[in-house]
Structure 1
Amino acid sequence: MYRWIEGAVPGPGSVDDWAAFGADLAGAVRSLHAVPLPPEAERDGLRWYRGGELAPCDAGVRERFAEARALPGLDLDLDRLEAIWQRALTLPAPSGPAVWLHGDLKPSNLLVRDGRLCAVIDFGGLSIGFPDAEHAPLWDVPAAARHAYRAALGLDEQVWQRACGWAVAVAISGVPYYWHSDPAFVAECLTRLRAVLADH
């Protein structure tokens, strides 16, 4: 247990090479996902919705889109985003064994030192499940990091588009919920959603 790790949140002033950052993050994720699960893991309530399928989230995501459409001054192409979400729902469901998941690899849970990733922090969302949603926060960082991460892990198109669906689901849920109470978090959600749009 570390009480303090020296480092900075990844950003334009702290990361020297975004492609290297993405590859380094992929290495950390690969290592976590390779840790064997103990036999009792499936019985101990460690599954979380982000380790599951997209379909059970559809009703809630549709509601969040409806709420977002009612927000005054929201400058976002909600029709295109909802279409991206709907396309993700048509993909085959994930399959394969469950793995350990960090659950929230957004930039504020990553640390950089000397221009490179040095730590992944905040394992409060540690869970098990399918890894699709683990990749969603890559739409929070520049495209060079995102592309290097995907290439390093060898993620196929279906996995990547399901991850993109998770990116939309989590971010669009944050916009109306925190619209009045946490504008900084809303800004993070909007940055992610605009990155998704830029990739499509």
Structure 2
Amino acid sequence: MREFRFAFRVFIAVSVVAGISYFLSMHAGGSARISSNTQDWGGFGSYIGGVLAPAASLLAGYMVYKSFASNAYQHKLLLARETLSRLDTELEKKLETPFNNVCFGGEYYGRPLRNVINALSDSKIATTEDSSEAILSLLHNTAILANSIRYYIGLLDGLPSAVKDNQWLGELEKSYWIEKYSAICSRMVRIVGQNAFEDRVSMEQLRSFKSVLGGGYGL
């Protein structure tokens, strides 16, 4: 919007300069009055058309370009949002998947994985190698989700707007994910250990995990 206003002002300025230049040229030629000759006005129209037509074409081309760029940006936002939704759904399914393993006894058999994670982090049951590996895999998926969230927040910050007020959108998005996954991620990191978690994920994923979800993790 800001770029459009600037381009439109430039177009108006070119129009004004062209008109003033023509009348100054007429005045310098000894014509101090507005002509009543249709040929003079025809010449004026040809002059203005010759000057403004290229400027108008450039303005129209610029507006078409900005329209395509805006549509492409909106499409990118939509694709990123859909990716986040898919990753979120898969992660939520895994956390609610029944734990069909008797390694922790019958008390936890068939209970949601989220409940088992809570019990492990509260030291109600002892951590095993298999459980640590499963939780590390889950944390890896969470780090991938966090990386996608950080990318999406970056897109929100760059959203074209007449007023630079997009930061609150990113903060709102981040607060949603912190509220949803902060507690469970904190528990999972405590179970497997910070070093094991950092060794599993890439530097980019770890940076995203800290930026998006790491507010209370001590990471």
Q: Which structure shows the higher strand fraction?
A: 1
Q: TM-score, normalised by structure 2?
A: 0.24
Q: Which structure shows the higher helix fraction?
A: 2
Higher relative contact order (CA 8 A, sep 6+): 1
Q: TM-score, normalised by structure 1?
A: 0.26
- Higher Rg: 2
